[in-house]
């Protein structure tokens, strides 16, 4: 469990969980009680930016390309192909090589380059070892490169290296380097055939010499499944510990939730701070999630959730306050959500089924709220590498039974459609156009949480990267039934070393927002 700093303890003290008790009801259609407004979907460009980051992360470095070329050349020089089950040979190069044919001992000096054909490279100025026992010993600095199939890409620099390229086991001290997208530092590394272990180590996705944030642990494990597991963790911002945790694990190639809080300001909420905590429960399928928030106008607003996640099937029980991004907080007290997702093997289509039921409250409105949705999504369709088309449709039923003397009921059911075409002109400029139809609106639903006041929407936007650190975005939303322009949003994204600042101006509403967050990549 986390041990949280004093400010976070104040937030967490407000949280608790409840059970759920409900009855299914049939609800007729009725008039909405209040109205909400929504966004311009300018977050479409998040998809493009994430794709670009992923391409950069997966691109081979020059030394990785050189290793692959050297391995191919070494294999061509072998007297015979490597048979299955045979030891993987290694190639040795150096300015000065000596070898004892009786004992198998060797010494290599100068520009020493040792390549194991399975995907390892050791470079140093002096190395000793034994051909018969397949052991390498490097007392001074060694540079290690791992480029194995179905394993994280690893680049390390360290001292006092001992490695057996036959058993694939070894040790290294005072190590720094990179595993997948993570920069990793450790007092001692251990190599095993199927994983790496680092002791008294820390990892970060911030590549600065003095990282803005990092996660230290007494023990870290890096597994071929692209997973990093950490034990006895401390969370750092600069030189300050902001929290501790016994255990955590993450996908190395995942852009998941950041460890650290987000702070910001907007016209609706004033200054605010948001955080996210996950606690494993029972096993890897269960977790307890807390999302605390403090803002100037509303004080402490939090929600707590219990998740069960088993591949395509997810269950989420929840209680607390949720924000729709439009200045409205709704209280769910409590609720439960079932979600099933599946990608068809024979067709480029995925489908999902979702059902939610619980008590929703907004100001003086409270009801039993139900949502049922079944949907289909086409895999992204790519044209000429630069155009991408997204298509999706769903059938949704939303029902509310208001808990009041008048007991107003609403029932909205119908199809929803969406189509979005994204164009990447180059690495700096992108644009999109989209059409959406949603049956639910603030005019026919009891709640307008996450609803527009109109069904037919045309959306468009552009994104332009001014510099390596600066990107501007504009997004527009039209009501196609009336022809009116409903929303205009402008964004400025500024990379601040290992964090991001986001400025947003909502021109139609004259609302300003500033947001600062650590980048999770």
CA distance 142 to 123: 6
Q: What is the pLDDT of residue 355?
A: 97
Query: What are the angstrom distances between the C-alpha of 408 and each of 272, 330, 356, 387, 440?
Result: 35, 18, 20, 47, 17
Q: What is the pLDDT of residues 163-175, one digit of tens each?
A: 888 888 899 999 9
Tell me: the pLDDT tens digits for 272-284?
Answer: 998 888 777 887 7
pLDDT for res 28: 31
Q: How confident is the model at residue 481 (pLDDT cuts 50, 70, 90)?
A: very high
**Can you tell me the distance from the alpha carbon of 518 to that of 521, in angstroms, rounded to the nearest whole number?**
9
What is the per-residue pLDDT for 224?
78
Using an 8 Å Cβ cutoff, are 197 and 221 in contact?
yes
Tokens of 489: 């949003």
pLDDT at 5 (0 to 100): 42
Question: Tell me, what's the pLDDT at 321?
Answer: 94
Mean pLDDT for the stretch of residues 160-187: 88
The winner for highest mean pLDDT among 139-148, 173-182, 368-377, 445-454 is 368-377
| Model pLDDT for residues 358-380, shown as the tens digit of each residue | 999 988 889 999 999 999 999 99
Question: 145-149, 305-309, 374-378, 468-472: lowest mean pLDDT where?
Answer: 145-149
DSSP state letter for 82: P
Q: Higher confidence at residue 6 or residue 466?
A: 466
Average pLDDT value for residue range 189-206: 88
On the question of pLDDT at 239 being above 80, the answer is yes
pLDDT bracket for residue 492 (50, 70, 90): very high
Looking only at Cα atoms, what is the longest distance across the chain? 97
Among 95-104, 182-191, 206-215, 346-355, whose mean pLDDT is lowest? 206-215
- Averaged pLDDT, 77-87: 70
- Alpha-carbon Rg of the chain, whole angstroms? 28
Residue 384 has what pLDDT?
79
Q: Which pLDDT score is estimated for 279?
A: 79
The pLDDT of residue 335: 95
**Is the confidence at residue 459, as pLDDT, over 90?**
yes
d(CA 302, CA 14): 8
Long-range CB pairs of 391-394 (<8 Å, 24+ gap) are 391/418, 391/419, 392/417, 392/418, 392/419, 393/417, 393/418
Confidence of residue 4 (pLDDT cuts 50, 70, 90): very low
> Does the pLDDT at position 96 exceed 50?
yes
Angle, alpha carbons 470-177-129 (nearest 5°): 155
pLDDT at residue 379 in the model: 94
Q: Which two tokens stand for residue 495?
A: 């990379």
pLDDT digits (tens, 9 = 90+) for 24-65: 222 233 344 433 334 677 777 777 777 777 777 677 888 888
Tell me what the mean pLDDT of segment 281-302 comes to: 88
What pLDDT score does 356 carry? Answer: 97
């Amino acid at each position: 469990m986390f041990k949280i700093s004093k400010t976070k303890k104040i937030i967490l003290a407000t949280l608790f969980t409840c059970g759920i008790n409900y009855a299914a009801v049939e609800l007729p259609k009725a008039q909405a009680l209040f109205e909400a407004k929504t966004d311009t979907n300018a977050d479409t460009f998040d998809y493009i930016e994430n794709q670009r980051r992923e391409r950069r992360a997966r691109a081979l470095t020059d030394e990785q390309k050189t290793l692959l070329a050297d391995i191919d050349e070494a294999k061509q020089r072998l007297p015979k192909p490597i048979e299955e089950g045979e030891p993987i040979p290694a190639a040795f190069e150096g300015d000065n090589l000596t070898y004892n044919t009786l004992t198998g001992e060797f010494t290599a000096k100068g520009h020493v380059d040792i390549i194991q054909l399975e995907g390892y490279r050791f470079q140093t100025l002096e190395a000793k070892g034994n051909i018969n026992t397949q052991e390498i010993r490097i007392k001074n600095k060694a540079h290690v490169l791992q480029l194995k199939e179905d394993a994280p890409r690893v680049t390390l620099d360290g001292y006092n290296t001992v490695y057996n390229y036959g058993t694939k086991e070894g040790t290294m001290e005072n190590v720094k380097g990179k595993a997948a997208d993570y920069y990793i530092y450790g007092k001692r590394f251990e190599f095993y055939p199927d994983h790496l272990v680092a002791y008294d180590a820390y990892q970060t996705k911030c590549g600065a010499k003095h990282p803005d944030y990092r996660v230290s642990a007494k023990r870290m494990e890096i597994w071929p499944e692209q997973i990093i597991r950490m034990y006895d963790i401390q969370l750092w911002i600069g030189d300050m510990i902001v929290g501790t945790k016994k255990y955590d694990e993450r996908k190395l190639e995942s852009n998941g939730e950041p460890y650290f809080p987000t702070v910001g300001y907007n016209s609706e909420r004033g200054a605010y701070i948001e955080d996210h905590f996950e606690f494993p429960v029972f096993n890897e399928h269960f977790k307890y999630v807390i999302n605390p928030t403090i803002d100037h106008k509303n004080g402490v607003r939090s929600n707590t959730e219990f998740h069960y996640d088993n591949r395509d099937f997810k269950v989420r029980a929840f209680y607390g306050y949720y924000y729709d991004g439009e200045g409205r907080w709704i209280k769910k007290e409590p609720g439960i959500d079932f979600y099933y997702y599946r990608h068809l093997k024979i067709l480029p289509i995925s489908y999902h089924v979702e059902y939610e039921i619980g008590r929703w409250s907004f100001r003086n409105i409270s009801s039993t709220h139900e949502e049922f949705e079944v949907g289909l999504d086409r895999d992204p369709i790519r044209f000429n590498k630069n155009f991408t088309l997204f298509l999706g449709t769903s059938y949704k039923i939303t029902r509310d039974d208001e808990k009041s003397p008048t007991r107003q009921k609403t029932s909205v059911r119908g199809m929803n459609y969406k189509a979005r075409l994204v164009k990447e002109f180059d690495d700096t400029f992108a644009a999109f156009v989209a059409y959406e139809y949603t049956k639910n609106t603030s005019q026919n639903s009891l709640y307008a949480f996450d609803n527009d006041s109109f069904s037919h929407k045309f959306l468009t936007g552009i994104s332009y990267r001014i510099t390596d650190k600066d990107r501007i975005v504009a997004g527009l939303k039209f009501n196609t039934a009336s022809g009116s322009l409903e929303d205009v949003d402008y964004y400025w994204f500024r990379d601040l070393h290992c964090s991001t600042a986001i400025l947003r101006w909502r021109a139609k509403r004259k609302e300003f927002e500033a947001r600062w967050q650590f980048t999770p990549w």
